């Protein structure tokens, strides 16, 4: 008899926690993790250190490959999910392979979001959500001296700090889109501005980005950035940090309900039996809020991955919206580890 097959799309925090929980509760099941990235599960928040050469790729790894071997978790890395047939219970990979599942968990996470208003300039922006893009930035960085950062999130602040430490000139352009995912950016803008200035960054505040264009196609290239007041500056790299949006394009027209993320109930179950979603890609209904919320951050992803896995193995897990608590980084107070749908 074929073993019960759990397929998990994604290889981030929620996916790995789910795989671990499933294995703990279902010893003889087949567990497959499918990830578009070629790398083992890594610490995303350490990417700024990796980019500036302070740590190496192996320092990013959360678990060595033996971890998966010991737990008999099959890793399918560098494989892109093309589509999912939820009626036939088949995941189609881009190289035309079909993977059948008995229960599916989608933890495909998020990808860098560029606000629509800045869409025309997207070719000028460098984003940093994945290790593959971080690796490209690391390769380019030795020839880059000036960097402009638009938007803002914790990763970008950390990146600015490490770049300044390595002697590079960093200009931060703060606008309404900073500080994702918080809604009332103005409340934290002052503390963010102070922290950045203290680090040694140039800060342009209350003067949003108007235009970015490439003015030299050298190595490194040169970009001209213009703000709405007409202020211009030049930089060899323009980093865009506007947060993430769920990476779920492969699910469009699959039959799943998708709004800002995959709509799931508080047990992380979709409308399809045996299909669950957790982590940054899920939009979770919270009965106490009578509204949906979207998770952000490592801790939430851990909880959600565990809750989804418990439900998948026949136990009960609930996606509890975390209580708002303050996080402090470099004097910047953050008080919302989730956002709800307005």
Partner 1 sequence: MTRFVPPNESSQHPEDLDYIRTNIPCQWACPALTDIPGYIEAVYREKYDQAYLVNRRSNLFPGILGRICTRPCEQACRHGETDLGNPVTICHIKRVAADYKSDDHLIQEKLFASTGKTVGVVGAGPAGLAVAHSLAVFGHRVTLYETFPLPGGMMFYGIPAFRLPRSIIETEVFNILRQGIELKTGQTLGKNFTVQDLMSRHDAVVISAGCQKSRDLGVPGDTLPGVLSGLDFMMNVNEGKHQALGKQVVVIGGGFTAIDCCRSAKRLGAEDISVAIRGVEEDLTVPEEEIREIYREGIRFMSLVSTVAIEGDGKVERIRFIRNRFGGIRGSSGRSIIPIEGSEFTLETDTVIAAIGQTPDYGLMTDSNVTFNTDTGVSSIPGLFGAGDYIRKASTVIEAIGNGRRVAEFVDEYLVKRLRRTRTVTVKSANDTHRPRDWDFIDKHHMPSLNFDERLASQEAEVETGFSAETGQEAAKRCYLCNLKYEIHIPDCIYCRWCIDVCPRDCIELVAEIDPEKPAHLADDHIVTSWNRVAGIVIDGDRCIRCGECYRVCPTQCIHVTRVGLHDRCLSREMS
End-to-end CA separation in angstroms for the chain:
48
Of 7-15, 234-242, 255-263, 295-303, which segment contacts partner 1 by CB under 8 A?
A: 255-263
Q: Does 181 bind partner 1 (CB under 8 A)?
A: no
Q: How far is CA 156 from each of CA 128, 171, 196, 312, rounded to the nearest angstrom?
A: 9, 11, 11, 36
Strands 110-112 and 244-246: antiparallel
Per the CB < 8 A criterion, the answer to whether 261 and 282 are in contact is yes
CA distance 103 to 46: 32
User: Of 85-124, which residues contact partner 1 (CB under 8 A)?
Assistant: 94, 115-117, 119-120
Residue keyed to tokens 């990235």: 37
- Assigned token pair, 300: 């939430």
Could you tell me the smallest distance in angstroms from the CB atom of residue 221 to partner 1? 19
Map residues 256-275 to x or -, x wherever contact with partner 1 holds by CB under 8 A. xxxxx--x-------xx---
**Residue 221 or 255 with smaller CB distance to partner 1:** 255
Could you tell me the smallest distance in angstroms from the CB atom of residue 268 to partner 1? 15
Q: Does 207 bind partner 1 (CB under 8 A)?
A: no
Could you tell me the smallest distance in angstroms from the CB atom of residue 291 to partner 1? 6
User: Of 31-70, which residues contact partner 1 (CB under 8 A)?
Assistant: none
Residue 79 sits at φ, ψ, to 5 deg, of -120, 125
Q: Does 286 bind partner 1 (CB under 8 A)?
A: no
Please state, as a whole number, how many other Cβ atoms lie within 10 Å of the Cβ of residue 1.
Answer: 3
Could you tell me the smallest distance in angstroms from the CB atom of residue 289 to partner 1? 9
Could you tell me the smallest distance in angstroms from the CB atom of residue 336 to partner 1? 19
Torsion of CA 136, 137, 140, 143, to 10 degrees: -170
Which residues would be at the binding site for partner 1 (CB under 8 A)?
A: 82-83, 94, 115-117, 119-120, 211, 252-253, 255-260, 263, 271-272, 285, 290-292, 341-342
């Amino acid at each position: 008899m074929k073993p019960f097959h759990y397929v998990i799309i994604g290889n981030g925090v929620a996916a790995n926690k789910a795989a671990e929980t499933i294995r703990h509760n279902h010893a003889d099941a087949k567990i497959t993790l499918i990830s578009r990235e070629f790398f083992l599960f890594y610490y995303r928040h350490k990417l700024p250190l990796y980019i500036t050469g302070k740590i190496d790729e192996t320092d990013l790894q959360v678990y060595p490959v033996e971890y998966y071997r010991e737990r008999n978790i099959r890793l399918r890395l560098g494989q892109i999910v093309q589509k999912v047939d939820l009626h036939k219970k088949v995941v189609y990979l881009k190289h035309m392979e079909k993977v059948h599942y008995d229960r599916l968990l989608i933890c495909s996470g998020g990808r860098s979001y560029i606000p629509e208003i800045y869409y025309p300039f997207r070719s000028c922006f460098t984003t940093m959500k994945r290790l593959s893009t971080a690796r490209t930035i690391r390769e380019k960085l030795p020839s880059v001296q000036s960097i402009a950062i638009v938007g803002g999130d914790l990763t970008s602040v950390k990146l600015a700090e490490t770049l300044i430490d390595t002697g590079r000139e960093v200009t931060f352009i703060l606008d309404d889109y900073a500080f994702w995912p918080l809604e009332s950016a103005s409340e934290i803008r002052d503390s963010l501005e102070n922290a950045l200035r203290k680090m040694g960054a140039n800060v342009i505040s209350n003067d949003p980005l108007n235009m970015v264009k490439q003015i030299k196609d050298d190595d490194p290239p040169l970009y001209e950035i213009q703000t709405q007041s007409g202020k211009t500056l030049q930089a060899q790299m323009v980093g865009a940090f506007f947060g993430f949006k769920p990476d779920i394009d492969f699910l469009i027209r699959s039959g799943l309900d998708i709004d800002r993320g995959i709509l799931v109930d508080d047990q992380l179950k979709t409308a399809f039996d045996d299909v669950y979603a957790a982590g940054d890609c899920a939009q979770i209904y919270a009965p106490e809020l009578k509204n949906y919320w979207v998770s952000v951050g490592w801790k939430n992803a851990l909880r959600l991955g565990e809750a989804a896995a418990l439900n998948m193995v026949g136990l009960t897990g609930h996606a509890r919206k975390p209580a708002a608590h303050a996080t402090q980084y470099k004097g910047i107070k953050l008080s919302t580890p989730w956002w709800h749908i307005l």
